[in-house]
Amino acid sequence: MSDECHLCLLGLIFLSLLLKGSSGVDETHVFISSGENVRLPCNNALPDCTSTVWFYNSYSAAVELIYLGIKKKDTESHERLSLGSDCSLNIRNISKEDYGYYSCRQYVNGDQKQGTDARVYLHVLHVSSSSSSSSQTEISAGRSVTLFCQLYSYAEVSCDDLMRSERIELFWVNQTGVKLTRSDSRYQILSSSDHCIITLNTTLLNEDHNREWRCEVTHRDQVKSSVTYTVKSSESVRCAIIILIVVIIYSCHNLS
Ligand SMILES: *[C@@H]1O[C@H](CO)[C@@H](O)[C@H](O)[C@H]1NC(C)=O
Ligand SMILES: *[C@@H]1O[C@H](CO)[C@@H](O)[C@H](O)[C@H]1NC(C)=O
Ligand SMILES: *[C@@H]1O[C@H](CO)[C@@H](O)[C@H](O)[C@H]1NC(C)=O
């Protein structure tokens, strides 16, 4: 009986070693909104980053960003990159094109790979609106407005499958953090099944001045990143101009 148990235990240990060996990659998911700065960790870092290589992969590119601790000068993003003292990769001013996966590899004794590659999936949250506006996160009063909130992700399968398997969710919330739903007649919330995108469509009201709507992305029920839109009514500016004109006309009348 106890011998069988030992055999069982040995089998289990062997199996777990096999499974660990076959997966071979260490994966992290990082979520960020466009325009922000991000730090991608290198989990298998050595004390010395002169053996660090960072690769970038997306649907359209597979490039080396850092080679043996030195930044490559021929990549599109090189001006926004830097290597942290812990061998992490820092990227400034993230754009939606930066999504994809980044791998950190360490070499020892020249060409020997140290441990497994640390793979970081970078998901970029980006919001745009149907109304043109001076600031990216302001909308001026108009009849109706549509806000598109999209998560740019690299997915081996469809974006929809990725969201389901990783338990990633996108939604719109109001100022108090309450999820906007289809049941609220003010809002039309549409989520397309395959593009990791959720749109908010609403008709702006007079009292919407300074109202905020926020798009949030959650990973395993934790909020990872968000983008806030504020409604800026141009009414107040127009009012001020009209009052000014009236005052000028009135003073001109008095003068004559
Ligand atoms: C960030 O990148 C955008 C383009 O993606 C650019 O328009 C903007 O000026 C950049 N901001 C800074 C602070 O470099
Ligand atoms: C947010 O939504 C909830 C539910 O619809 C509502 O009770 C609350 O007043 C809203 N808050 C704001 C600031 O709009
Ligand atoms: C948003 O709603 C308005 C009014 O209900 C409608 O005319 C418009 O087509 C909608 N836009 C989108 C992108 O659904």
- What domains appear along the chain, each with residue ranges and CATH number? 23-123 (2.60.40.10), 130-236 (2.60.40.10)
Mean pLDDT, range 7-27, rounded to an integer: 47
Q: What's the pLDDT band for 143 if we cut at 50, 70, 90?
A: confident
Does residue 2 carry a pLDDT above 50?
A: no
Residue 31 contacts by C-beta under 8 Å, 6 or more apart in sequence? 123, 125, 151, 217, 219, 224, 225
**Chain-wide mean pLDDT for the chain?**
81
Of the listed ranges 1-15, 175-189, 204-218, 242-256, the one predicted with least confidence = 1-15
The pLDDT value recorded for residue 64 is 93
Does residue 28 carry a pLDDT above 90?
A: yes
Share of the chain above pLDDT 90, in %: 43
Share of the chain above pLDDT 70, in %: 75
Pocket test of ligand 3: the residue of 201, 202, 203 to mutate, having most ligand atoms within 8 Å of its CB, is: 201
> Among the atoms of ligand 1, which is closest to the Cα of residue 34?
5
Task: Count Cα neighbours of 160 within 13 Å in the Cβ-side half-sphere.
Answer: 5
Three-state secondary-structure class, residue 69: coil
CA atoms of 96 and 4, how far apart (whole Å): 56
Q: Is the CB of residue 93 below 6 angstroms from any atom belonging to ligand 1?
A: yes
- With 0.85 as the threshold, say if the pTM is over it: no
The pLDDT value recorded for residue 45 is 67
Cα 154 to Cα 102, 201, 222, distances in angstroms: 11, 27, 20
Q: What's the pLDDT band for 22 if we cut at 50, 70, 90?
A: very low
Which residues, in sequence order, are bridge partners of residue 125?
33, 151
Three-state secondary-structure class, residue 229: strand
Q: What's the pLDDT band for 12 if we cut at 50, 70, 90?
A: very low
Please write the tens of the pLDDT for every residue from 114-138.
Answer: 888 889 999 999 998 887 655 556 6
Q: Is the CB of residue 136 below 6 angstroms from any atom belonging to ligand 1?
A: no
Better pLDDT: 148 or 239: 148
**Residue 186, both tokens:** 């003010």
Mean pLDDT, range 43-65, rounded to an integer: 86
CA atoms of 181 and 171, how far apart (whole Å): 9
Four-point Cα dihedral 123, 92, 222, 217, nearest 10: -50
Residue whose CA lies nearest to ligand 3 atom number 3: 144
Find out whether 42 and 89 touch, Cβ atoms under 8 Å: yes
Mean pLDDT, range 227-255, rounded to an integer: 65
